């Protein structure tokens, strides 16, 4: 079974639009888990425009599934992860003002920095994942950083899916085969939704987990949160 980790950044964005605690992030997370999600993902950014650093500490107390913290590994982020000790940390190369993740790591250029950070996390028993594109050289170099997994950046697949889904998924099929050969676990995320998720999951050998936030929360506005979490889970079976 491929695991579904729900990114709850958008719920925090809605809360922050008015201040206060509506919608209540902790209550939403408890419900998402109760409805069948396998994990919760957060991505605290330096400006705290959605998930705040306080949210991360508060969520650690209530998340009963796998907790995944995404972010750029500056010192504040590293300290946060080492204190909270989530089950997984996903390293992304976002600039501080990035609207959303829009590129994977250059694991050759940033090899030494990634290796040192990953070593710290793994020493504390935290599984590590690197956000990456489908470039074979980058995947091969990822192994040398010591990471446990890679997270494939799936925006290109989502954009090309309607025009030619076979062509859209092919680079990811190839990347998954290479990652499996190299002993890397495989996660995936970005713009996966109810229309394109099942095909991706069926084609990509070795896929362990998907992280979905924007599409899932948007679907919940029309279909209800409980129904939507279960629908996404069905697409992964």
Active-site choice (33, 50, 66, 70): 70
- Residue 50 among the catalytic residues: no
Active-site choice (33, 66, 151, 190): 190
- Residue 70 among the catalytic residues: yes
The greatest distance separating any two alpha carbons of the chain, rounded to the nearest whole angstrom, comes to 48
| Alpha-carbon gap, residue 29 to 34, rounded angstroms | 9
Per-residue b or e along 124-145, where b marks 16 or more CB atoms closer than 10 Å to that residue's CB = eebbbbbbbbbeeebbbbbeeb
- Residue 83 among the catalytic residues: no
Active-site choice (43, 50, 66, 151): 43
| Alpha-carbon gap, residue 32 to 232, rounded angstroms | 12
What is the phi/psi pair of residue 24, to 5°? -80, 115
Nearest in space to 193 (alpha carbons), one of 156, 170, 218: 218
The count of residues in the chain is 237
Nearest in space to 9 (alpha carbons), one of 63, 64, 70, 65: 70
The CA–CA distances, whole Å, from 153 to 30, 46, 132, 156 equal 27, 21, 6, 8
| Alpha-carbon gap, residue 66 to 81, rounded angstroms | 14
Q: Active-site residue numbers?
A: 43, 70, 190
């Amino acid at each position: 079974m491929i695991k579904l980790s729900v990114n709850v950044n958008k719920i925090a964005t809605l809360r922050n639009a008015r201040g206060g605690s509506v919608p209540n992030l902790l209550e939403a997370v408890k419900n998402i888990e109760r409805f069948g999600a396998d994990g919760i993902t957060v991505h605290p950014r330096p400006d705290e425009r959605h998930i705040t650093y306080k949210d991360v500490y508060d969520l650690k107390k209530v998340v009963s599934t796998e907790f995944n913290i995404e972010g750029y590994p500056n010192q504040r982020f590293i300290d946060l992860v080492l204190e909270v000790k989530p089950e997984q940390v996903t390293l992304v190369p976002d600039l501080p003002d990035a609207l959303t993740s829009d590129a994977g790591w250059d694991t050759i250029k940033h090899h030494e920095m990634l290796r040192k950070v990953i070593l710290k996390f793994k020493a504390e028993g935290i599984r590590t994942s690197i956000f990456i594109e489908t470039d074979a050289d980058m995947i091969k170099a990822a192994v040398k950083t010591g990471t446990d997994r890679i997270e494939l950046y799936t925006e290109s697949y989502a954009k090309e899916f309607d025009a030619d889904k076979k062509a859209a998924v092919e680079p990811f099929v190839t990347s998954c085969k290479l990652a499996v050969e190299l002993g890397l676990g495989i996660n995936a995320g970005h713009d996966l939704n109810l229309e394109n998720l099942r095909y991706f999951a069926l084609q990509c050998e070795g896929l362990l987990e998907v992280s979905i936030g924007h599409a899932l929360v948007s679907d919940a506005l029309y279909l209800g949160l409980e129904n939507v979490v279960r629908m996404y889970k069905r697409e992964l079976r």
